[in-house]
Amino acid sequence: MKTFFKKGILVLIFLNVFCLYSQTDFNKLDEKGKKHGVWKGFYEESKRPRYEGTFEHGKEIGIFNFYDDTKVKSIIATREFNAKDNSAYTIFYDQNKNKVSEGNVVNKLFEGQWKYYHQASKNIMTTENYVNGKLEGLRTVFYVSGKIAEEISYKNNLKNGFYKKYTEKGILLEESMFKNNIYSGLAIFSDTNGNIVSKGQFVNGKKSGIWQFFEKGKLVKETNMSFPENATKSKNN
């Protein structure tokens, strides 16, 4: 009986030591106080896992998984770190494991092309380009079918340059220009049949000068939008 009791105590001690070791076999620091080995983060209130990944003397390496705050522990993001250039290829997911967006992060800023997906679909909804975390160059929006819906040029995170909007059949609905996020320059608006509805100039985001208005492709009116209340000319007479 005593022998059995002693063996039981030894087993309990072993289990306690094992559990203690298991509980502390992550979130360690190296001799310089830098994160090293497996690290796990937890949500403050629920204490559920928030992330898990590996550090090598303070540098993230390999793939980090990020979880939602539920019992299911769904992966809502992954980051694959490249220690050579401080980049992390990042993929965001919804709770059904569908990709939401993906792209590169460098020094915690978006860099290069990012892709965004239609909800619960593998079809791309938007492509964007970033430089140091700011939109730069062409941004394209797609219909679920893959046809282009919009194209817009960016500079320093602001709309600068051309903008085009299409129907799913490829008919051009709008062709305009932007400067520092506001309309500037010539703009042409068309209906779903491709017939021009109106066209004219924008200055500082406002219609300016002579604007032409059409019905079924025929010019019906010209209005000086700088003085619209008294400068309308009908083309029906």
- Is the per-residue pLDDT at 170 higher than 50? yes
Q: What integer best gives the mean pLDDT of the chain? A: 90
Residue 83 — pLDDT band, cuts 50, 70, 90?
A: confident
Q: What is the pLDDT of residue 235?
A: 60
Two tokens, residue 76: 């809502």
Element (H, E) at 17: helix 2-23
Q: What is the pLDDT of residue 228?
A: 65
Secondary structure (H, E, C), 53-106: EEEECCEEEEEEEEECCCCCCCEEEEEEEECCCCEEEEEEECCCCCEEEEEEEE
Which of 195, 173, 196, 200 is CA-nearest to residue 184? 200
Write out pLDDT tens, residues 126-156.
999 999 999 999 999 999 999 999 999 999 9
- Is the per-residue pLDDT at 2 higher than 60? no
Q: What is the pLDDT of residue 24?
A: 62
Q: What is the pLDDT of residue 229?
A: 65
Mean pLDDT in residue range 179-185: 98
How many CA atoms within 13 Å lie on the side-chain side of 38? 8
Q: What is the pLDDT of residue 168?
A: 98
- Is the per-residue pLDDT at 17 higher than 50? no
Q: What is the pLDDT of residue 230?
A: 52
Bridge-partner residues for 181, per DSSP? none
Residue 217 — pLDDT band, cuts 50, 70, 90?
A: confident
Q: What is the pLDDT of residue 232?
A: 60
Q: What is the pLDDT of residue 180?
A: 97
Cα 222 from Cα 200, distance rounded (Å): 10
Is residue 150 within 8 Å of 132, Cβ to Cβ? no
Write out pLDDT tens, residues 89-127.
999 999 999 999 999 999 999 999 999 999 999 999 999
Q: What is the pLDDT of residue 12?
A: 46
